[in-house]
Structure 1
Amino acid sequence: MKFGKIFKKQMVPEWVEAYMDYNGLKRILKQIRSYKHSKLTRVASRVSQQAEALHRSFSGLSFHHRNSEHGGDIEDQVITVDTEVHQQDDSHRKLYKTKFLKKAEEGGEFEESFFKKLDENLNKVNRFYREKVEEVLEEAALLDKQMDALIALRAKVKKPDASSNTNLEKHPSDKVVVDETSDDSTIRTPGSANRDMVHGIDRTSIPEEEASHIVTDIVPVSRTSGNEEEDGAGGKQDLHEILERVKMNEALESPLSTLKGFFGDSKEPVSKKGLKKAEEQLRLVFSEFYQKLRRLKEYSFMNLLAFSKIMKKYEKIASRNASRNYMKTVDNSLIGSSDEVNRLLERVEVTFVKHFSSGNRREGMKCLRPKVKRERHRVTFFSGFFSGCSIALIVAVVFKIESRKLMEKDYGTAYMANIIPLYSLFGYIILHMLMYSANIYFWRLYRVNYTFIFGFKQGTELGYREVFLVSTGLAVLAFICFLLNLQFDMDWKMKAHNTLPEVIPLGLVTIVLFILFCPLNIIYRSSRVFFLRSLLHCICAPLYEVTLPDFFLADHLTSQVQAIRSLELFICYYGLGEYMQRQEKCHSHGVYNVFYFVVGVIPYWLRFLQCVRRLCEEKDSIHGYNALKYMLTIIAVIIRTAFELKKGRNWMIMALVSSGVAICMNTFWDIVIDWGLLRRHSKNPYLRDKLLVPHKSVYFAAMVNIKESHIG
């Protein structure tokens, strides 16, 4: 594989624009090569005319004089690299500018533009790397304070009656130490960490950087500079003083904590349970911080390798020896000489192993460097097997219906009208899972870190193969049951004396619910628990803190209103005994009609409550407008359902008006707010500046699809 493809594959998606423009530099080198090729072609015609005369004159005894740039070490005659020092925010920033000394030669302007672009890329990479290093240094300082607080809390929980004079002596390796005397890049840690970093990871929006914030429930209050000096000098800290500077950041993330926060003080003494929770969150923070450091280290390595590769290509094409001189400059720059990230990696490893793995380095490194999930061949095999079975069963169902000419008989039409709505529940679920499987496939294709975004535990997340396997397995089960229904109900003798065919759909629902709630560690238990937890958070909105998985699931529920109504149909069909008469007359029951209204509104109502919760917490008006959007949708659903049940001209007009308003609002919100499209001044006309998918037609097709889905 060519380096350009490897380089692109190794890029962190959020940092793509900060990498060296390898392809842009290659395009300039192609221009240089094309110019030199055309120049050689012109020279070759003149040389061929004089070749015979030159051969007779020198008889092979003369030697060809070599061009000066090929002989000896004369790199200084090709380029010189100047360094300009700029003062910015109490730190020195170096900018590099290369002077090409062969500009007067033919085609020299192409090579000059190459080095100009090369300098721009080097300065860009150094600037971004500096910003990221400063960012991780701030996070490391905050992590150090949180580690102090955790150690103090551990001591307090284990010995609640300990004297306030108890001192904690930290191991020297616990302190995240950074050498600030590095040449070229004196990076200074700010005196106080950014307080926004302790408010929690906002998983309700996708961050530009995947782990840009450090969060735990332990929030150390900022120290004075004097206290910092004392701690640094003595190496010991008073337990009572540390605990006075520590407070537990109680996020209102459960119904009980929300009610306590609403009606009164929710502060409680630190317990073992609270300490364990804080330890787990800090463990997660260390893991995410470590992964960020590794990405930053890989960013540095890949850019250094790219500079080396592009300079070798330049030497080969331009026949000049400038690589050694320029790469010496690159190696002495910030990205080549800074060692802060490596030292931070070592310190994080030592601290994590000591405090979270009881000194067991192997176990500690397993947590910091989780193994990549292995793809299993049996998943692929059974996915294909179930897919083939599903297709075969669909063909069998069609042939069964056609062979008995079921749709041509009055009984057959009534039968299909009864049975199809029951099995449509599984059709909606299967289709939704197939679409989710496709989503995961494209997320992985375009390197979207959905595992982090949704907060899945590393190594337990489902890939597109696993989701596809579950959906095709459910499809096989549903089609088998449907085929059995047809077989039994077409036998008039059996139909007259047996109600077994009517309870087959109920048995299928029971099997699905049993698998979903099964406590045994089978059929992706961790993913089922994650789904049920998010579903509980949605149902209990607004009592739970709104996270990305919760509102993502609630959004999906709004597109499954018909599936939820099919579940209500099951309750009516079997709960009210309709299956005994083999007729579905649920709409003749007033209670069913009431719940038919309620069930259609529930998903939108849950999203409305989630938006209200976020509006109260974040004080951002955008959530208020989002809540208004869902309220308009609720009104439209109620009026449209009333028209569906009662008919009438007035209801039809009201349904058209309310649905039109809701469609316009939802379409605008999805395209402009959620997708960030239709930006007139974007560098991608009517799209946005950063596009995950390189093909712009995909976004325009998605806009059309959104409009059609809302209208539908």
Structure 2
Amino acid sequence: LLISHLPDLHLFLKLLMSMSLFQVILFLLWGLCCCKIGWDSVMRMSVDLRDLFLYEAFLYYNPLLLVALMIWLWGVNLWVFAQSSVNYAKVFDLSQTHLSHREIWRCATWLTLVVPTSMTAYLYLYSHGEVSLAASQPVLLYAILLMILLSPFDMFYLSSRFFFLRTMWRIALPLQAITFPDFFMADIFTSMSKVFSDLERSGCRMVHRQVATIAWFEADSICGSHSVAIPLVLVLPYLCRFFQCLRQYKDTKEKTCLLNALKYSTAVPVIFLSALKYHVFPDVWISFYRPLWLISSVVNSLYSFYWDIKRDWDLSILTRIFMFKNPSAWSNLLYGRSWVFYWVLGSNLILRCTWTYKLSAHLRHNYLTVFAITALEVVRRFQWVFFRVENEWNKMTAKQNFEMSSDVMPSESDRLLDSNSHKV
């Protein structure tokens, strides 16, 4: 009965079940085994040690889990674009060999398998007294992933990895003219700033051989919770985007680039005012710095929300969702529905306001809450992608239509010289 009312439900089922049924069953069984082994390992530890150890284990693996989530959702973005009239390959100037949504999901599947497996091994070995072997698990995982990303050999999608690394280089050093992929990926990196901060702390602990210890929690530790590197890494994606806007203004002389740069600069006081809590007296923080932090966070959240709706998306785009080539029950549920308008506005505003929580240094010890909010920020960026890419596609098609109409329409001098239009 359900299928008879939703004749195109198979499109959505293909989205959820791109793997075979056998692979799905194996995936679920593997997940249950990891959960069971990890839980039993944690229960073997003493109660006073358990929370600190989980905090450390979470530090190594939660950024990679969030990266996997972003890759899964990016695959969903590409799948929807493939079903719609938006030519995302042309928007991003991709080659004919660019990765499809299925290949993106394949990468996400492997990452989703490898990361929890390494985490389970880490918990099991540590709880059974094999501290040195446990400490090698995150080091081995990070080393393998880094080698795959930087490998110069023609394997693991070399052209796509090269495109990603080249774009990262252009983001870090905006010496050339800024293209759409450059600032698009830089915007995504701002949503992943907490991920980069945790990656920095994990790398710091691995370099200084502090893995599988709880001394890192101390303030005077090299990689401790009071490290100056934490706010520096948090603010780095926003500074890169700030300099991109300045470079765009140099090339185009458009004042909107300066206003966009101002938006990213408002993130700087939020991050550094929050980090000051560890370097000033508590009463000074409460009486002076915390009010400034709250004001700066409100300014940044509202400014960013306005820019999303008015500039990145174009407010008129919210009256519709891009037209699908093969309309289905799911696309009809989205297209032209008023609830989509309210959902996008409301969720974007709420998640913009929670930005201060996940980026504030003095709140990061609530690691489960911060992980949940960071995951929600990834979801917010996921829905942001739909409107941002469609808006760019609309601009490209409008420009092409204008150029074509200008080429087709004869000039005024041609019309005056046309013999058919004169009677002598």
TM over 0.5: yes
Give the AA of the match of 1:512. L
For the 8 Å contact 1:454–1:549, the answer to whether it is kept is yes
Distance 1:587 1:537, change over 3 A: farther
Q: Write out per-residue CA displacement over residues 153-195 of structure 1, whole angstroms, 9 at most, x where no aligned residue.
A: xxxxxxxxxxxxxxxxxxxxxxxxxxxxxxxxxxxxxxxxxxx
Give the AA of the match of 2:350. E
Give the AA of the match of 1:462. L
Whether 1:562 and 2:194 are equivalent positions in the alignment is yes
Deviation at 1:706, TM superposition (A): 1.1
Distance 1:416 1:614, change over 3 A: same
For the 8 Å contact 2:216–2:223, the answer to whether it is kept is no
Q: Write out per-residue CA displacement over residues 627-656 of structure 1, whole angstroms, 9 at most, x where no aligned residue.
A: 010111222222233347766313322211
Match of 1:694 in 2: 335
Match of 1:651 among 282, 286, 289: 289
For the 8 Å contact 1:605–1:630, the answer to whether it is kept is yes
Whether 1:392 and 2:29 are equivalent positions in the alignment is yes
Q: Per residue, is there more strand in 1 or in 2?
A: 1
Give the AA of the match of 1:613. R
Match of 1:536 in 2: 169
For the 8 Å contact 1:573–1:586, the answer to whether it is kept is no
Match of 2:141 in 1: 508
Match of 1:523 in 2: 156
Structure 2: gaps (5+ residues) = 1-16, 324-333, 355-424
- 2-side partners of 1:491 and 1:690: how far apart? 54
Distance 1:392 1:595, change over 3 A: same
Give the AA of the match of 1:635. P
Match of 2:229 in 1: 595
Q: Write out per-residue CA displacement over residues 110-154 of structure 1, whole angstroms, 9 at most, x where no aligned residue.
A: xxxxxxxxxxxxxxxxxxxxxxxxxxxxxxxxxxxxxxxxxxxxx
Whether 1:704 and 2:346 are equivalent positions in the alignment is yes
Match of 2:249 in 1: 615
Deviation at 1:572, TM superposition (A): 1.9
Give the AA of the match of 2:65. G
Match of 1:483 among 113, 120, 123: 120
Match of 1:174 in 2: none
Q: Percent identity?
A: 23
- 2-side partners of 1:587 and 1:393: how far apart? 38
SS of equivalent to 1:578? coil
SS of equivalent to 1:447? coil
Match of 2:393 in 1: none
Match of 2:62 in 1: 424
Whether 1:472 and 2:106 are equivalent positions in the alignment is no
What aligned pairs does 1:321-470 form with structure 2 within 5 A after superposition? 380-381=18-19, 388-404=25-41, 405=43, 409-458=47-96, 460-470=97-107
- 2-side partners of 1:706 and 1:606: how far apart? 23
SS of equivalent to 1:452? helix
Structure 1: gaps (5+ residues) = 1-378
For the 8 Å contact 1:390–1:479, the answer to whether it is kept is no
- 2-side partners of 1:709 and 1:558: how far apart? 14
TM-score (norm 1): 0.42
Deviation at 1:544, TM superposition (A): 2.1
Q: Write out per-residue CA displacement over residues 486-523 of structure 1, whole angstroms, 9 at most, x where no aligned residue.
A: 2211213x34xxx1211210110111111111111111
Give the AA of the match of 2:31. I
Distance 1:603 1:387, change over 3 A: farther
Distance 1:673 1:481, change over 3 A: same
Distance 1:444 1:691, change over 3 A: closer
For the 8 Å contact 2:38–2:124, the answer to whether it is kept is no
Deviation at 1:556, TM superposition (A): 0.6
Q: Write out per-residue CA displacement over residues 216-252 of structure 1, whole angstroms, 9 at most, x where no aligned residue.
A: xxxxxxxxxxxxxxxxxxxxxxxxxxxxxxxxxxxxx
Q: Write out per-residue CA displacement over residues 543-572 of structure 1, whole angstroms, 9 at most, x where no aligned residue.
A: 121001111110010000111011111222
SS of equivalent to 2:153? coil
Give the AA of the match of 2:79. Y
Match of 2:206 among 570, 574, 578: 574
Match of 2:298 among 660, 682, 686: 660
Deviation at 1:418, TM superposition (A): 1.1
Deviation at 1:406, TM superposition (A): 5.0
Match of 1:105 in 2: none
Q: CA RMSD in A?
A: 2.5
SS of equivalent to 2:154? coil
- 2-side partners of 1:385 and 1:430: how far apart? 22
Distance 1:565 1:574, change over 3 A: same
Give the AA of the match of 2:209. G
Deviation at 1:582, TM superposition (A): 4.9
Q: Bigger relative contact order, structure 1 or 2, given CA contacts below 8 A and separation 6+?
A: 2
SS of equivalent to 2:305? helix
Q: Write out per-residue CA displacement over residues 656-684 of structure 1, whole angstroms, 9 at most, x where no aligned residue.
A: 1100000010001101211112x5xxxx9
Match of 1:638 in 2: 272
Match of 2:405 in 1: none
Deviation at 1:473, TM superposition (A): 0.5
For the 8 Å contact 2:84–2:322, the answer to whether it is kept is no
What aligned pairs does 1:50-199 form with structure 2 within 5 A after superposition? none
- 2-side partners of 1:502 and 1:617: how far apart? 49
Deviation at 1:703, TM superposition (A): 1.7
Deviation at 1:402, TM superposition (A): 3.8
Match of 1:58 in 2: none
TM-score (norm 2): 0.70
- 2-side partners of 1:513 and 1:544: how far apart? 27
Q: Per residue, is there more helix in 1 or in 2?
A: 2
Match of 2:259 among 599, 608, 625: 625
- 2-side partners of 1:644 and 1:464: how far apart? 44
- 1-side partners of 2:123 and 2:29: how far apart? 16
- 1-side partners of 2:172 and 2:55: how far apart? 32
SS of equivalent to 2:228? helix
Match of 1:319 in 2: none
Distance 1:694 1:607, change over 3 A: same
For the 8 Å contact 1:390–1:475, the answer to whether it is kept is no
For the 8 Å contact 2:205–2:223, the answer to whether it is kept is no
- 1-side partners of 2:246 and 2:217: how far apart? 38
Q: Write out per-residue CA displacement over residues 452-490 of structure 1, whole angstroms, 9 at most, x where no aligned residue.
A: 1101111x1111111111011011011111111122112
Deviation at 1:385, TM superposition (A): 6.6
SS of equivalent to 1:451? helix
Distance 1:580 1:435, change over 3 A: closer
- 2-side partners of 1:600 and 1:657: how far apart? 19
Give the AA of the match of 2:154. N
Distance 1:690 1:705, change over 3 A: closer
Deviation at 1:620, TM superposition (A): 0.6
SS of equivalent to 1:577? coil
- 2-side partners of 1:689 and 1:474: how far apart? 35
Give the AA of the match of 1:584. W
Indicate the structure (1 or 2) with the bigger Cα radius of gyration.
1
Give the AA of the match of 1:481. S
Q: Write out per-residue CA displacement over residues 252-303 of structure 1, whole angstroms, 9 at most, x where no aligned residue.
A: xxxxxxxxxxxxxxxxxxxxxxxxxxxxxxxxxxxxxxxxxxxxxxxxxxxx
Deviation at 1:417, TM superposition (A): 1.4
Give the AA of the match of 1:660. V
